[in-house]
Structure 1
Amino acid sequence: MALPSRVRGGRLPPRAADAVVTLAVTLVVAVWTLVSARYATEPASRTALGWALLAVGCGALYFRRRLPVTVAVVTLLACVAYYPLSAQDGPLMIAFALALYTTAAEGRFAASVALAAATLLAVGLGEIRQQPGHRQMDDTSLVMLAGWLISLVAVGRAQRTRLAYLHEVEQRALAAEREQEARARQSATEERLRIARELHDVLGHTISLINVQSGAALHRLGKKPEPEIALAAATEALEAVKATSKDALRELRATLGVLRQADEAAPTSPPSGLALLGELVERARSAGLDVRTSVVGTPVHLPPPVDLAAYRIVQESLTNVTRHARAHVATVTLDWRADELRLRVEDDGEGCPEESPLGSGIRGMTERALAFGGELTARGTAEGFRVDARLPFAARTAPQTASKGDPR
C-alpha cells in the first residue's frame, strides 16, 4: 500500500527529499573514503573501480522509494564487490543500511528480512572460510551485525505502521469533515424548506383571502350601485383586507423570527396554533365561505410544534377551498383522542380538477403530518373534497381552555 506523499514526504516533495538524502549520504561516504585513503595505498585502477562502486551504491538511493527492493539489492551487491576489492574501506554499508530500512518502511517486509538474513549469512560464511588469525570480524561483531540488521528492519516496519496509522487517522478526519459538511448542508436545506413551507402557508392563505375579498368588492362595485351602497361595500372590503393583512404581518414576523440576530428583539405576539382557529375561521367567512366547526372529545394542550402543524393544515385546507373549490360550505372537525388529534376539512365544492395547482400545498401538509409520525390524505369525494390528518402527540395534559375567537 503506497501512502500519500503528503504523509510520507513531510515538508519537501518526495523526489526532492530523496535527492537531499542521496547527496547527504554520498557526501558522508566520499569524505570518509578520502580520509581513509590517507592511510592506505592501492593501484589507481582499483581506486577508480572502488569510487565507481561507491557512486553506484550511493546514487541508487535516489530511487529507493520507487524501487526499494531493487535499490537494496544493488547497494548490497556494491558492498559485496567493494569491500574485498578496495583497501580504502569506505563506509558504503551506510547506503545498504538506508536501503534496507526503506525496503521495510515501504511495506516490503518479507524482502527486507530476506536481504538482512542473506547479508548476515554471507558475512558469516566469509568469516568462517578465513584462516585463523585473518578474520575481519570476531563472533561479538557478528552478533552486533545481526542486531544492527534486525534493528533496521524493525525500525522500518515500525515507521511503516506509524505512517499507515497517520494515514488512517487523516482519512477518518476527512470522512468526519465531509460527513459534518453533509449534515450541515442537509440541516440548511431542511431549514430552508421549513421556512419556505411556513411562508407558503402564511402568505398563500392571507393573499388568497385578500384577493377574494377585493375581487368580491370590485364585482359589487362593477354593478354601479348607489354611492352609499358602493361606499359601504368598499369600506367593508378595505376593513377585511386591513384585518387580513395585519394577521399576515403578525404571522410573517413570527415565521421570520428564526432569522433574527441574537441582539434583535424577538416578536412578542403569540405563535399560530389552534387557539387562533376562531380568527382563521372568521377570515375565511369574510371571504364568503361558510365555515363550520365541530369538536369531538376533550381538547388538550398540544406541544407547540404539533399545535402549529395542526393550525397550518387547517389554514392550507381552507386556503385551497377558497381559491380552487368554488365551495359554499366547509366543515372543520377536530377529533381529540387519547394520544392523537384527528383533523378533517371537507367542502361541497368541485373537488380537485387536474389543472388545479394544489400539489405544493398538499405536499407541505403531508410533510407536516409525517414529521410527527402521523399521516395525511387528500382526495375528492362525491360531495366535494376532503383532507384527513392524524397527528400523534404526548400523553394528555390538562383540558385546553377556550380562547378569544374559539369557534366552540
Structure 2
Amino acid sequence: MRRAARMRDRVGMRPREAAVPAALIIVGLATLPLINHASTVDRPVDGLAAVLVVATGSAPALRRRWPALALLATAAGASAYLLMRYPYGPILLPVAVCSYAVARGRHPRRAAVWAAPALVLLLGHVLVDGGPGIDGLIPGIAWVTVPFTLGLARRLVVEAQQRERAETERRIVDAERLRLAQEVHDVVGHGLAAIQMQADIALHLREARPAMAHEALAAISAASAEALDELRVTLAAITPSDRAPAAGLARVADLCARVRTAGVAVDLDVEGHPHPLPAAADLAAYRVVQEALTNVVKHSPHPRARVAIHHRPRGVDLRITNQTWDTAHADGFGITGMRRRVEHLGGCFAAGPAPGVFTVTATIPRDLP
C-alpha cells in the first residue's frame, strides 16, 4: 500500500513539475524575436539559441528531486547562451528558479556549496573578450544570490514554524500527562491513605479485638473497590462514555462518608443554593476536597476535619480545616496539584498552617476563562 501511495504521489506531481518548465520555455521562445529586435550589439538569435532556451528551460523539471543538478544544468545552459553573444533575456529565469529550489530544499551549507560553482559558470561570459566586463558582474550575481536568499529565508521560516508546531504539540502532550498524573494521584492517593489507616488499625487490634480488626479489613475492601471504580472513571475520560458519572460536588457527601470509615471524623457544612457548575470546575472542586481530606488521613495527628462549601451565584468557596501541632509546611505534589487545578480555572487557592490548624481554601468561579 505504501508503494502504491508513493506511485500516486509521483504521478500527481508530474503536472505540477512540468508546469514551471513549460512556462519558462514558452516565455523564452516567445521573447526571442522581441529581444533580437531590441538588441543591436549582440549576435542575432537563430535555431541554436532556441535549442539552448528549450534545454535550459527544461532543466527546472529536476529541481524537486535533484535541485543541485538542475541548478548546474541551468547555469551551464545560460552561460553557453551568453558566451555565444546572444542577447540577454528570460533564459536567466530558469537559473533563478533552480537557485531558489536549492536554497529551499537543501541545508544552507550544502546549498551554498552548489550555488558557488553555478555562479562561476554563469559569470563565465563576463570576463571573455567582448563581454560586458566588470559592469556585468552585479547583474549576473543577482540572478543567483537574490533567489537563493529568498529560498533560504523561506526554508528558515518553514523550519521555525515546524519547531513551533512541534513545541506546541509537546506542551499539549506534557499538559495532558500532567493532568492524568494529577487525576491518578488524587484517586489512588486517597484510596491508599484510607487503606493504610485501616490496615494499621487491623494490625493493632488483630489479637486484642478481632471484631474491630474484621471491620477494618471490611473497610479496606470497600475503600479499595471504591478507589478502583473512581480510577476506572478517571481513565475512561481518555475515551469518554456515559457509563459512569464524573466526580463532582454532588458526591462530596459520599467522599466524607468514606473518609469517616477510615477513622477520621468529618463535619460537612453546605451553604447556599448548589447551582450547577461547569464540568471542569465541578471536578476541580471535588478534587480539592478529596486531596485535602487525604492529607488529613495521611498527616494529621488529630483525626478530625471540617469541610465547608459555600455556593454563590458566581462560583463556589471551599474551606477544609483540621487541627495540627506541626507549624512547618512545604507544598507537596498534592497541594501543588490543587493550586494548579484552581488557578487554571481562574480561581484562587491557599493552603498553610495557622496557630493550631491547617487550612485549605479555594474559590472556583462559575464562568471559566
Given the two structures, how large is their TM-score scaled by the length of structure 1? 0.60
Structure 1 residues 334 and 188: CA distance shift in structure 2, 3 A: same
Give the conservation status (yes or no) of the 8 Å contact 2:82–2:125: no
Mapped partners of 1:243, 1:324: distance in 2: 22
Displacement of 1:276 in angstroms is 1.0
Report whether the alignment pairs 1:74 with 2:151.
no
* Aligned partner (choices 131, 142, 153) of residue 104 of structure 1: 142
Structure 1 residues 259 and 296: CA distance shift in structure 2, 3 A: closer
Report whether the alignment pairs 1:277 with 2:252.
yes
Mapped partners of 1:372, 1:29: distance in 2: 72
Percent of residue pairs identical: 32
* Aligned partner (choices 183, 187, 190) of residue 202 of structure 1: 187
For 1:234, give the aligned amino acid.
A
Q: Which moved more, 1:171-180 or 1:249-258?
A: 171-180
Mapped partners of 1:23, 1:97: distance in 2: 21
Q: Secondary structure at the match of 2:367?
A: coil
Query: Match for residue 173 of structure 1?
Result: 158
Structure 1 residues 212 and 66: CA distance shift in structure 2, 3 A: farther
- Per-residue CA deviations over 1:70-129 (Å, capped at 9, x if unaligned) read x56413xx226xxxxxxxxxxxx9x9999776333135xxxxxxxxxxxxxxxxxxxxxx
- Per-residue CA deviations over 1:218-246 (Å, capped at 9, x if unaligned) read 1112xx32xxx41x223211221121111
For 2:311, give the aligned amino acid.
W
Displacement of 1:168 in angstroms is 4.2
Displacement over 6 Å in runs of 4+: 27-30, 95-100
Structure 1 residues 67 and 375: CA distance shift in structure 2, 3 A: farther
For 2:257, give the aligned amino acid.
E
Unaligned runs of 5+ in 2: 1-61, 87-114
Number of aligned residue pairs: 279
Query: Match for residue 65 of structure 1?
Result: 119
* Aligned partner (choices 352, 377, 399) of residue 350 of structure 2: 377
Structure 1 residues 25 and 368: CA distance shift in structure 2, 3 A: closer
For 1:313, give the aligned amino acid.
V
Mapped partners of 1:18, 1:297: distance in 2: 80
Give the conservation status (yes or no) of the 8 Å contact 1:313–1:365: yes
Mapped partners of 2:72, 2:151: distance in 1: 21
Displacement of 1:17 in angstroms is 4.5
- Per-residue CA deviations over 1:119-151 (Å, capped at 9, x if unaligned) read xxxxxxxxxxxxxxxxxxxxxxxxxxxxxxxxx
Query: Match for residue 22 of structure 2?
Result: none
Displacement of 1:10 in angstroms is 6.0
Displacement of 1:389 in angstroms is 0.7
Give the conservation status (yes or no) of the 8 Å contact 1:210–1:244: yes
Displacement of 1:319 in angstroms is 0.6
Tell which has more relative contact order, 1 or 2 (C-alpha 8 A, sep 6+).
Answer: 1
Structure 1 residues 291 and 342: CA distance shift in structure 2, 3 A: same
Mapped partners of 1:267, 1:243: distance in 2: 24
Give the conservation status (yes or no) of the 8 Å contact 2:316–2:366: yes
Give the conservation status (yes or no) of the 8 Å contact 1:18–1:62: no
For 1:194, give the aligned amino acid.
R
Query: Match for residue 150 of structure 1?
Result: none
Give the conservation status (yes or no) of the 8 Å contact 1:321–1:349: no
Q: Secondary structure at the match of 1:271?
A: coil
Instruction: Map 1:346-361 onto structure 2 (within 5 A).
Output: 346-351=321-326, 353-354=328-329, 358-361=331-334
Mapped partners of 2:76, 2:121: distance in 1: 14
Query: Match for residue 7 of structure 2?
Result: none
Structure 1 residues 324 and 361: CA distance shift in structure 2, 3 A: same
Larger Rg, first or second structure (1 or 2) = 1
Give the conservation status (yes or no) of the 8 Å contact 2:252–2:286: yes
* Aligned partner (choices 254, 268, 290) of residue 293 of structure 1: 268
Q: Secondary structure at the match of 1:331?
A: strand
Unaligned runs of 5+ in 1: 1-7, 33-60, 81-92, 108-159, 396-408
Mapped partners of 1:28, 1:336: distance in 2: 85
Displacement of 1:328 in angstroms is 3.0
Mapped partners of 2:267, 2:361: distance in 1: 16
For 1:65, give the aligned amino acid.
L
Mapped partners of 2:138, 2:118: distance in 1: 9
- Per-residue CA deviations over 1:367-405 (Å, capped at 9, x if unaligned) read 01101101111111112200111101139xxxxxxxxxx
Mapped partners of 1:309, 1:171: distance in 2: 43
Given the two structures, how large is their TM-score scaled by the length of structure 2? 0.66
Give the conservation status (yes or no) of the 8 Å contact 2:275–2:313: no
- Per-residue CA deviations over 1:6-28 (Å, capped at 9, x if unaligned) read xx976546589447844895699
Query: Match for residue 387 of structure 1?
Result: 360
For 1:74, give the aligned amino acid.
L
Structure 1 residues 191 and 352: CA distance shift in structure 2, 3 A: farther
Report whether the alignment pairs 1:246 with 2:219.
no
Q: Secondary structure at the match of 1:106?
A: helix
* Root-mean-square deviation over aligned CA pairs: 3.6
Mapped partners of 2:279, 2:65: distance in 1: 56
